[in-house]
Amino acid sequence: KAGVTQTPRYLIKTRGQQVTLSCSPISGHRSVSWYQQTPGQGLQFLFEYFSETQRNKGNFPGRFSGRQFSNSRSEMNVSTLELGDSALYLCASSVAGPTNTGELFFGEGSRLTVL
Amino acid sequence: SQQGEEDPQALSIQEGENATMNCSYKTSINNLQWYRQNSGRGLVHLILIRSNEREKHSGRLRVTLDTSKKSSSLLITASRAADTASYFCATVTSYDKVIFGPGTSLSVIP
């Protein structure tokens, strides 16, 4: 069974640009959540999707958005990039969400560098 | 502010010793989970304990949960060099909101 796949693994952008990150969950998993990890702020929750609906959202500005497709694949987009957006973006999937099924399966992350 | 707070921030022990990490949180939870992360990679789930449980074991791992004190501890027994990693607690609310603590960096010296 394939794990959670995140693409691209590494990318470099400049301030003001936008970026789209992709996450393919484990087959059969319907919940996908996104996290931003930085040395200063640690792991911060961005949002969680279940069956194409956003169920939870963290405290990030509107420049951060996401969506989930009918096949459970998810994308997140960051517009008007700032230097502070440089981070490791992690995607996690679970069967029905961390409350119901608990364990989150993480991808290896997409490391974004904003210059 | 973050829900979970780990203590200590960093821990260095000799191989074979036990390592204990603590996590405190602020609000009601559905469950609490512990994860391990090796240097800039994805997180790996270690163990989950639900709010109505007090203790769980998995191999060399032992987790306790005290909901009255809003705290949890992770014990790794007979540590190995391969246990060197960052360890995070994650609290899960009834609405599927997951909040990670800042993590404990564990170094196991061979």
pLDDT tens digits for range B14-55: 999 999 999 999 989 999 999 999 987 889 999 999 999 999
- Decide: B6 and B87 in contact? Cβ < 8 Å: yes
Q: Which residue of B has its CA nearest to A42?
A: B102
pLDDT digits (tens, 9 = 90+) for A24-68: 999 999 999 999 999 888 899 999 999 999 988 999 999 999 999
Q: What is the largest CA-CA distance in chain B?
A: 42
- Decide: A62 and A79 in contact? Cβ < 8 Å: no
At residue A54, the pLDDT reads 92
CB contact under 8 A, B45 and A105: yes
Identify residue A36 by its one-letter amino acid code.
Q
Q: Is A95 on the interface with B (CB under 8 A)?
A: no
Nearest by CB to residue B42, choosing from A98, A99, A109, is A109
Residue A98 pLDDT grade (very low, low, confident, very high; cuts 50, 70, 90)? low
CB contact under 8 A, A48 and B100: no
